Amino acid sequence: MTGHDIITWLIQKYCISEEEALHLGNLLVKYGYIYPLKEPRSLVLRRDESPYRFQTPYFWTSTQWPATELDYAIYLAKKNIRKQGELMEYEKERYSLLHKRINHTWDFVVMQAREQLRASKQRRKADRIVLECQEQAYWLINRPHSEQYQNHDPIMQGCLPSNPWISDDAAHWTMNADVVPVPTRLRVERWSFSFMELLSDTMGRKEFMTYLEKEFSAENLCFWQACEEIRHGENSRISEKVNEIYKNFLAPGAARWVNIDSKTMYKTLEGIKRPHRFVMDDAQMHIYFLMKKDSYPRYLKSDLYKNMLAKAIVPQETKKSVFPFMRRQRHSSPSPAQAATQATEEDGRCCHTVPLLEPIPSSSLSGK
Amino acid sequence: MCDQTFVAATFGPCENCSTPSPLINIYIKSEPINYCSLCVEMMACQGLQKGESLVSLKRESESLKKKLEEERKKLCDVELNQVAEKIEVLGALSIKTRRVLKGHGNKVLCMDWCKDKRRLVSSSQDGKLIVWDAFTLNKEHGVSLPCTWIMTCAYAPSGCAVACGGLDNKCSVIPLSMDRNENLAAKKKSVAMHTNYVSGCTFTNSDMQLLTSSGDGTCALWDVESGQLLQSFHGHTADVLSLDLAPSETGNTFVSGGCDMKANVWDMRSGQNIQSFESHESDINCVKYYPSGDAFASASDDATCRFYDLRADREVAVYQKDSIVFGASTVDFSLSGRLLFAGYNDYTINVWDVLKGTRASILFGHENRVSRVRVSPDGTALCSASWDNTLRWATDFVTENK
């Protein structure tokens, strides 16, 4: 049947509008009850003469047949054997990933694949093609997703170039220090997990600041940072810090005025009259969610982030030494107690201690 | 990861004493009132009112608890291990002890990693606090304190100070100085004062605030500079043995576990007890948040570790085995949260698969009970402290098995 037929039938049967029929039809395709023949990877219902076919009930999503990795591996193995090199890019990736993960049952997988191919050869060609299409459609939708962070867990996957505790080589720590010229790939990937991950990494935060400057909304992050300082800082300096924030971010005509809704602004300004540790909480949360829902997703799609990801290094695994029992010299590192006193002097010149009323040219903020 | 749910904390003048402070919203016979935490406590201490008796109040609280359990059960749809069936089994783990840190003269009670991923601080029964570079095995600082049984220690986020506390009912902060000649014990500054032993302490996101838990049944938040009490948390009916700060976006909550078998989640701003979990059958020795902040695990003397989901508001997994009969004293998650390391009083550390509920591995080596287990900040190694006077760090030799 054609896409056009499907839509017409839906409109007639359920007495619904064309738009709704299109939407319903799309859902049917997305969940695999109907599959397109011409462009199997594009799971969309087209309102024209493109051909579609019903999926066999065996493969319906409603049967809730658990699509295990083993079955998917068998399917990919079959495809690989049948037509060498026919696997798509992402399929090749998943194939090798599965090969690593369920290596212990790989013989079983290959054997099953061969058996199934042999059994299908005994069918008529037309039937075989139909079955192949159905299976392909099924796996397009149901391929097992495993979104775990296993790659990022050194105790489970090891770490590159080597786990310092095993190899006595602190290279892993040097590469992942707070400030490095080029970060590692895993680190940059981690910034995409959540907004909190991005902000808690010093480099991630700097990068995000650079991005915000380009968008002329850097004052949001500066405001958020200043509010954090109040919440976690000394009791004695609360009034002083609240005053600073007011002058720099909230006062009418302030140099780095932040855009908060009027209700929150009114509440905050009232609260400032008697400053306490949590007086900025509402405003801070408003700005935080603004950044999280708006700037952060755009940052992840931006060229700045994509370039960072492309530039990021994947360290080479260090070759195991010929004499594994010869220990390397384990070098000590400077104590944070020493390093921190130097850093606080530098950090003093940060964005929230900015002179009043002077327009800040954005170029002077990037790079200390 | 979905957005966290918030406790709507209001600010303003208390309806009783008029001081502006974070308010707790409670209901008395369906009438809402907004009091500050001090007034709520005073109200709770008032004598019985007319028509009430201890027995009737007890009955009322029991029936309310039953109702809560029924409501919770209604929302149960599927078990964690059922959902976890789709996930592949963990590969074989090969975690081995690599080094032993010797230097304490008596039982090591607690340890904590520094943010630089290689230093750690440990405290012991003989009153000594040692700061080690675990990578080179060097002892960088040693402090002798007048009191014995330093039950807890913590490293400051900046790496410039450590906090410790124990039977002296206090929690003190010691700034670490690089000057070899300086007597660090002399620079010790008492910050927290409790009326019973201090069982757990941790810095919040900065060096300026300290959160402590105590045998007097309370937890408290202190300003380090002035030693002022910023907020106290009442609700446990017995000693509080452990606490952990939530790794959340708003950074406002923490969980505590105690001898009353309850694990409570608190709001740091208002002092209110937001959630409570009571399913253990004995003292809860340790609580630790899951890396995403939506769940936490607890270790108890009933020989089980349990996993609680904050959004589902219930226990979702129990990690136990018939062969494990000794109490668990400490837990920590691996970096991704897939593995749970638990130290037991039978001198072993069991490694649990959090999602499937099965044991992935077991570590031997200590010669007395394991008092504390902590994964390093970047997840590369695991350190365990024990009553056999040593600390051991172990890591997974994954690469060697490939």
Q: Do B295 and B313 contact (CB within 8 A), yes or no?
A: no
CA distance B200 to B206: 17
Contact residues, B window 23-82, toward A, CB-based 8 Å cutoff: none
The two structure tokens encoding residue A117: 């191919």
CA distance A215 to A229: 24
Query: Residue B265's closest CA among B282, B289, B285, B281?
Result: B289
Query: Which of the 8 DSSP states describes residue B313?
Result: T
Contact at CB, B225 and A228, closer than 8 angstroms: no
Phi-psi region of B145 (alpha: psi -120 to 50; beta: other; left: phi over 0): beta
Query: Which of the 8 DSSP states describes residue A313?
Result: B
List chain A residues with CB under 8 Å of B140: 335
**Is pLDDT of A353 > 60?**
no
pLDDT value for A86: 64
Q: Mutate which of A100, A202, A335, A344 to test chain B, going by most B C-beta atoms within 10 A? A: A335
CA distance B225 to B400: 49
A66 vs B: CB within 8 A = yes
How many other β-carbons are positioned within 10 Å of the β-carbon of residue A249? 24
Q: What are phi and psi of A77, to 5 degrees?
A: -65, -40
A189 vs B: CB within 8 A = no
On whether the pTM is more than 0.90, the answer is no
Element (H, E) at B162: strand B161-165
> Residue A336: which pLDDT band, with cuts at 50, 70 and 90?
confident
Q: How many Cβ pairs within 8 Å bridge chains A and B?
A: 169
**Is pLDDT of A346 > 60?**
no
CA distance B390 to B392: 7
Contact at CB, B85 and A66, closer than 8 angstroms: yes
For residue B4, give the 3-state DSSP assignment: coil
pLDDT value for B281: 94
> Which residue's structure tokens are 């027995």?
B55
> Residue A63: which pLDDT band, with cuts at 50, 70 and 90?
low
Q: Compute the residue count for chain B.
A: 402
Contacts of A345 (CB under 8 A, 6+ apart): none
> Residue A355: which pLDDT band, with cuts at 50, 70 and 90?
very low
Amino acid at A93: E
Residue of A nearest to B23 (CA): A278
CA distance B175 to B184: 8
Contact at CB, B396 and A164, closer than 8 angstroms: no
Instruction: Point out the residue among B9, B251, B396 whose CB comes nearest to the CB of A156.
Output: B396
User: Most confidently modeled of A117-121, A351-355, B8-12, B94-98?
Assistant: B94-98
The two structure tokens encoding residue A30: 């997305």
pLDDT value for B209: 92
Tens of pLDDT along A255-312? 888 888 889 999 899 888 888 888 888 899 899 989 998 999 899 988 999 888 888 8
Q: Is the peptide bond before A161 cis (omega within 30 degrees of 0)?
A: yes
Q: What are phi and psi of B366, to 5 degrees?
A: -75, 155
A316 vs B: CB within 8 A = no
The two structure tokens encoding residue B231: 């907020």
**Is pLDDT of A356 > 80?**
no
Query: Which of the 8 DSSP states describes residue A247?
Result: I
CA distance B372 to B120: 13
Q: What are phi and psi of B30, to 5 degrees?
A: 65, 5
Amino acid at B212: T
Q: What is the largest CA-CA distance in chain A?
A: 85
pLDDT value for A104: 65
CA distance B79 to B87: 14
Radius of gyration of the CA atoms of chain A, in A: 29
pLDDT value for A61: 66
> Which residue's structure tokens are 């809860």?
B284
Contact residues, B window 142-201, toward A, CB-based 8 Å cutoff: 158-161, 175-178
> Which residue's structure tokens are 């081995």?
B96
CA distance A279 to A231: 9
List chain A residues with CB under 8 Å of B133: 332-333
The two structure tokens encoding residue B80: 């964690």
Q: Do A24 and A16 contact (CB within 8 A), yes or no?
A: yes
**Is pLDDT of A71 > 80?**
no
Q: DSSP string spanning B63-116?
A: HHHHHHHHHHHHT----HHHHGGGSPPPPPP-EEEEEEEE--SS-EEEEEE-TT
Residue of B nearest to A168 (CA): B135
The two structure tokens encoding residue B25: 């919203």
Contact at CB, A228 and B205, closer than 8 angstroms: yes
Tens of pLDDT along B193-208? 999 999 999 999 888 9
Contact at CB, B1 and A154, closer than 8 angstroms: no
Please list the alpha-helical segments (H only) found in chain A. Answer: 3-14, 18-30, 69-82, 89-101, 106-121, 125-142, 154-157, 164-167, 171-175, 185-190, 195-200, 202-214, 218-232, 238-245, 262-272, 281-290, 296-301, 303-311, 336-347
Tens of pLDDT along A210-232? 999 999 999 999 999 999 888 88
The two structure tokens encoding residue B36: 């500050």
Amino acid at B301: D
CA distance B26 to B40: 9
Shortest distance, CA B160 to any CA of chain A (angstroms): 4
pLDDT value for A117: 79
CA distance A68 to A71: 5
Contacts of B371 (CB under 8 A, 6+ apart): B107, B108, B109, B110, B329, B330, B343, B385, B386, B387
Instruction: Point out the residue among A66, A236, A335 whose CB comes nearest to the CB of B178.
Output: A335
The complex's ipTM? Answer: 0.79
Instruction: Point out the residue among B87, B223, B379 whose CB comes nearest to the CB of A155.
Output: B379
pLDDT in tens, chain B (402 residues): 334 444 455 677 788 888 777 777 777 767 777 777 777 777 766 766 666 777 888 888 888 888 888 887 777 777 787 777 767 777 778 888 888 999 999 999 999 999 988 899 999 998 999 999 988 888 998 999 988 899 999 999 999 999 999 999 999 999 988 776 677 788 889 999 999 999 999 999 888 999 999 999 999 999 999 999 999 999 999 999 999 999 877 768 999 999 999 999 999 988 889 999 999 999 999 999 999 888 999 999 999 999 999 988 889 999 999 999 999 999 999 988 889 999 999 999 999 999 888 998 899 989 999 999 999 998 888 999 999 999 998 887 654 333
Shortest distance, CA A139 to any CA of chain B (angstroms): 16
CA distance B256 to B152: 14
Q: Do A48 and A3 contact (CB within 8 A), yes or no?
A: yes
Query: Which of the 8 DSSP states describes residue A104?
Result: G
How many other β-carbons are positioned within 10 Å of the β-carbon of residue B86? 14
> Which residue's structure tokens are 């009259």?
A273
Q: Do B338 and B346 contact (CB within 8 A), yes or no?
A: no
Counting other chains too, the contacts that A43-47 makes at CB distance below 8 Å and 24 or more residues apart are: A43/A140, A43/A141, A45/A3, A45/A6, A45/A7, A46/A3, A47/A3, A47/A4, A47/A7, A47/A22
Instruction: Point out the residue among A68, A154, A163 whose CB comes nearest to the CB of B335.
Output: A154
CA distance A36 to A52: 4
Contacts of B193 (CB under 8 A, 6+ apart): B169, B170, B227
Q: Mutate which of B121, B398, B400, B402 to test chain A, going by most A C-beta atoms within 10 A? A: B398
> Which residue's structure tokens are 């550390």?
B349
Query: Residue A300's closest CA among A198, A203, A227?
Result: A198
The two structure tokens encoding residue A205: 């935060």
CA triplet B314, B316, B318: central angle to 5 degrees?
120
Query: Residue B289's closest CA among B224, B354, B208, B226?
Result: B354
pLDDT value for A89: 66
Instruction: Point out the residue among B175, B224, B380 whose CB comes nearest to the CB of A165.
Output: B380
Contact at CB, A146 and B177, closer than 8 angstroms: no
Query: Which of the 8 DSSP states describes residue A316?
Result: P
